[in-house]
Amino acid sequence: MLIYLLLSILSSTFLLIILKSFIRWKVETLHGIIFNYWVAALLSFSIAPAHNTAQLPSLLNMWYVSLFIGFLFIVVFYITAKTTQISGVAVASVASKMSMIIPISAGLFLYNESMGLQKLIGILIAIPAVILASNSGSISNTKSFNLKQIGLPLLLFFGAGLVDTAIKFTQHQFMNDDNRQVVIMSIFASAGIFGILRLIFEIAILKKQVSLRSVGGGVVLGVTNYLSLYFLLKCLESPDTESSTVFAYVNVGVVVTSFFAGILLFQ
């Protein structure tokens, strides 16, 4: 499990770095996010396509779950991008990863998981990370952190917590070794469908254009996004491992890693 845990932390941190870099790369954030989901969906299906095609009928039992999580994905991902760009990588990681309290609570009450010393320590370690990251975000943006700036991080907190809880529910109720890739594909494709509807509106009504930069940014983000979800699911599927433990370790790891990445890459 350790290797998947480390890869999950690194890929999730890279997601925040890429989203932060969209401004520097002159990528239209929403367009990049939309293309990212189709890239992730195609990537998940392209792995053993013959086997995945045979598993497609199994998605009929969870179509409503895929649509719900897909909608959450694109909304929360856009909020993550805006929080990262406005408040910084560290603040965005804290807002999204401290939401581990929500899926951890769900694991305790819905799946009768335990609250051991390690989980408690993991949550307590995140508390100083919150203080350090908030200070880092305010310094990097040369303005004080106040209540007026907490709107996006607060939305991100609850949204990310709901996403993680929904992923655990899907993994527990619907996923197995045979259909893992098509389940991942269905979630990403559902997010992509909502994104395409928005893109059609922007092109037809708002007269916006799609740039090659946005397509390229979406490709880079999509590959990383797929790996992030894949490694998280592999952690959740590890034998004798509770989801509350996985979310505690992964989320605290991302908070710490992204804090240092924000300092090194974005000052």
What does the CA dihedral 94, 98, 100, 106 come to, rounded to 10 degrees? Answer: -140
What pLDDT shows up at residue 198? 94
> How many angstroms separate the CA atoms of 218 and 221, rounded?
5
> How many angstroms separate the CA atoms of 207 and 32, rounded?
17
What pLDDT shows up at residue 142? 43
Helix (H) or strand (E) holding 7: helix 2-25
Regions of the chain with pLDDT less than 70: 118-119, 122-149
The token duo for 192 is 């992509």
- Residue 123 has a CB neighbour count (10 Å cut-off) of 18
Amino acid at the residue 69: I
What pLDDT shows up at residue 62? 93
CB 170 within 8 A of CB 187: yes
What pLDDT shows up at residue 195? 96
Residues 6+ apart with CB under 8 A from 144: 138
What pLDDT shows up at residue 140? 46
